[in-house]
Structure 1
Amino acid sequence: MRNIKVGIIGGGGIAGAHAKAYRKLPFVNIIAVADITPGRAEEFAEKYNLKETQAFTDYKELLKISELDAVSICTPNVSHHQISIDALRAGKQVLLEKPMSVTLAEAIDMVNVSKQTGGMLSIGFQPRYDPNMKLLKDIVSSGELGQIYYVETGGGRRRGMPGGTFINKKLAGAGAMADVGCYSLDLVLNTLNHPRPLTVSAFTTNHFGTNKRYHPEADKFEVEDFGVAMIRFENEMVLQFKISWAMHMDTLGPTMFLGTDGGLKVTPQGIGPWSGVWQGKVGSMQLFQDDNMGHLSRDVLLKDDDINLFDEKVRDFAEAVRDGRPAPIPGEEILIQQAIIDGVLRSSQERKEVSIELPHHISLPSKQG
């Protein structure tokens, strides 16, 4: 079993989570860290006891290290596209934090370059590693619910608005949609095997973020804190998608799959004002069906586990690099949710339904189950 050498681009909090996860893997050596802020990479290496790690302010210098196998990209959203492209062209395998990109065009470019170079582009959606997320997909894929014709997903925090780069449109690209909405979309799209979206009709607001009563950086708040959309898919299914960073409500409801033979209600794990969105594990599942005796409903028995989802994400990527496996969560799949987020923002701005155009030269699953 060979060891692999990785670098971390970005020195913020999420980069620290990557460093901690990599250090638990005996076959991984972190040999380089880069951050645009002078001195921050050195501070990062010291904080996480990375004694023989090189520090850079320019990530391009990090990418010149010939023995470097892979990089974790943990930078603001706006930089994801270019850094990923440069890393792939430098022959490095890439683990990229969500969201994949700011625009759909960037996401398409990233997937194209991954294919051209043969490099791995894996996007960081750790909730997929919850055994109950896999159980959910197994139930839907089994056909037990029949044909899925309506899905509702999303979530809302009573209060949970970040600040800094998250609310700067030039750096983040979008707000709640890109920050936590992408998790809801991945939950549904992965469960349904990534059907192709056709149209989006959406509405977004930022009533809370731009109000000093609710946010200390209201004068700097440039993105949406709430959004709702209806998405039509090619398989005669519709998705109602809703997300909120702040609201006068305790919940926006569970995720629901309605099928011709049954329905499934799924709620996320967690309590408190920052919970209520799909960032981690499944909290509960209920199955609804009919038989000759009438209406039936039952709780789905969830699998107990003590899995650290973030560590699993990093481990799976590292093992894929070591073993030469394909990307655990390939960019081709995440491209679909980027298309939906792009459509949501366009529809809201134009105040009308918009079409979603996906490139047909990129191979994407098109059938449910």
Structure 2
Amino acid sequence: MRIGIIGTGGIARAHANAYKQLEHVEVVGAADVIPGKAAEFVQSLGLQDARAFDDHRELLALDLDGVSICTPNVTHYRTSIDALEAGKHVLVEKPLSVTLQEAVEMTETSARTGRMLTVGFQPRYDPNMHILKDIVQSGQLGNVYYVETGGGRRRGMPGGTFIRKELAGAGALADIGCYSLDLAMNALGYPKPVTVSAYASNHFGTNPLYHPEASKFEVEDFGVALVRFDNGIVLNFKISWAMHMDTLGATMFLGTDAGLKVTPAGKGPWSGVWDGGIGSMTLYHDIRGHHTESPIPLKEHNVNRFFEKVRDFVDAIREGRGAPIPASQIVRNQAVIDGILRSAELKREVQIELPANL
């Protein structure tokens, strides 16, 4: 299987190293808009036979089965469209896009070309995430009516391309907020969002006391929103790159028969968000009229979530099956982020308009 990589920054190295571990898979080319960067990438990773390009369209002219898109957020749209139109299957890093309209066009292009467009949410490959979804989907909670999710780092603000609006499009929402939304919405079966009322700020990123690139900080470092879905469920969402607090609380699913509380794994100022595994799960329910708390045993494992994401993409191409994490689903995740940004700017609730088929 012949693979190309578009964008050769840090995350691209993780993709390349995962591909290198797979049998009968070869990275045959890489592209980056910075002259010479792709050449340095293939050389440093020992990809002796891979070709390097400064234009991703030249890479797409090669005979490729699939591509990993590891570019800054704002270019996910164009590079994905170009790859799909060139007949390549696509694994695009999160977030899917910057705007909802871009996400819709990407999804429609995938359907029209018959090429897979899958999105890089590696936390889904944690075995305990499967347990969480199984519990929510089992009906054990009864009718789920309220969900609270998100996460907060006491200090965990990146820099560089992550904080420039022209490259990232958004800040904490696009970087780690999409993971929190995926955790909740995937467990719920990805209901359709209809309205969002939100607030966003960047008090920490723009303060030189807290960020060395404060003068260049252009995105949000905090966001909170109330999201309504077409099935009546309400989602209370919150995310933060930095704050004067240890946590923004656990993820909670409230149902008419039981409630589920879930905490993220990890410790330290960069933890507390859903870009990794699960720390604990507890079921709150009544037994014979008594309030009962039942810890859910977690599965101990050494699963490399990132590697599994790449392997699943390769296997899906080889087996001719659908996208492991389809853009047709994640477009609803992007719709929420788009709605939060619009609502925060307008300072009022906004409607989410999605095509009927999405």
**What residue ranges of structure 1 are gaps of 5+ in the alignment?**
363-369
**Aligned twin of 1:344:** 340
Out of 144, 166, 170, the residue aligned to residue 170 of structure 1 is 166
CA distance in 2, matches of 1:201, 1:112: 27
> Which SS does the other structure have where 1:352 is aligned?
coil
For the pair 1:152 / 2:141, whether they are aligned, the reply is no
1:361 deviation in Å? Answer: 2.6
Write the distance in 1 (CA, Å) between the matches of 2:127 and 2:136.
15
1:169-208 deviation per Cα after TM superposition (whole angstroms, max 9, x unaligned): 1111100000000000000010000001111000000000
Equivalent in the alignment of 2:223: 227
1:312 maps to amino acid: E
What TM-score does the superposition give when structure 2 sets the normalisation length?
A: 0.99
Selected match of 1:272 from 246, 259, 268: 268
Q: Per-residue deviation at 1:236?
A: 1.2
User: Which residue of the partner structure matches residue 23 of structure 2?
Assistant: 26
**Matches of 1:54 and 1:149, distance apart in 2:** 52
Correspondence 1:290 to 2:286: yes
* Residue type at the aligned position of 1:96: V
Q: 2:195 aligns with which of 187, 195, 199?
A: 199
Q: Distance in 2 between matches of 1:70 and 1:234?
A: 35
From 202, 212, 216, the equivalent of 1:216 is 212
1:57-206 mapped onto 2 (5 Å cutoff) = 57-65=54-62, 67-206=63-202
Is it true that 1:9 corresponds to 2:43 in the alignment?
no
Corresponding position: 1:303 with 2:299:
yes
1:279 to partner: Cα distance: 0.3
Q: Structure 2: how far apart are the matches of 1:18 and 1:88?
A: 19
Q: Deviations over 1:213-239 (max 9, x none)?
A: 101111111100000000011111100
- Is 1:40 matched with 2:23? no
How many residue pairs match? The answer is: 358
Post-superposition offset of 1:293: 4.1
Q: Give 1:291 deviation, angstroms.
A: 2.1
When normalised by structure 1's length, the TM-score is 0.96
Residue 23 of structure 2 aligns to a residue whose secondary structure is coil
In 2, Cα distance between equivalents of 1:28 and 1:290:
52
The answer as to 2:322 corresponding to 1:318 is no
For 2:117, give the aligned amino acid: L
Q: SS in structure 1 opposite 2:272? A: coil
Q: Secondary structure, in 3 states, of the residue corresponding to 2:150?
A: strand
Cα drift, residue 322 of structure 1:
1.3
SS at match of 1:277: coil
Question: What one-letter code is carried by the residue in structure 2 that aligns with 1:349?
Answer: E
Q: 2:253 maps to what in 1?
A: 257
- Runs of 4+ in structure 1 displaced over 6 angstroms? none
Question: What letter is aligned with 1:165?
Answer: T
Paired amino acid for 1:43: E
The residue number in structure 2 matching 1:365 is none
Aligned partner of residue 61 in structure 2, secondary structure = coil
Deviation, 1:38, is 1.1
Residue deviations 1:237-278 (CA, integer Å, cap 9, x gap) = 100000000000000011000000000000111001000000
**Separation (CA, whole Å) in 2 of partners of 1:119 and 1:69:** 10
Paired residue secondary structure (1:7): strand
- What CA distance in whole angstroms lies between the structure 2 residues aligned with 1:323 and 1:299? 38
Q: Distance in 1 between matches of 2:289 and 2:173?
A: 43
| CA distance in 1 between partners of 2:289 and 2:91 (Å) | 51
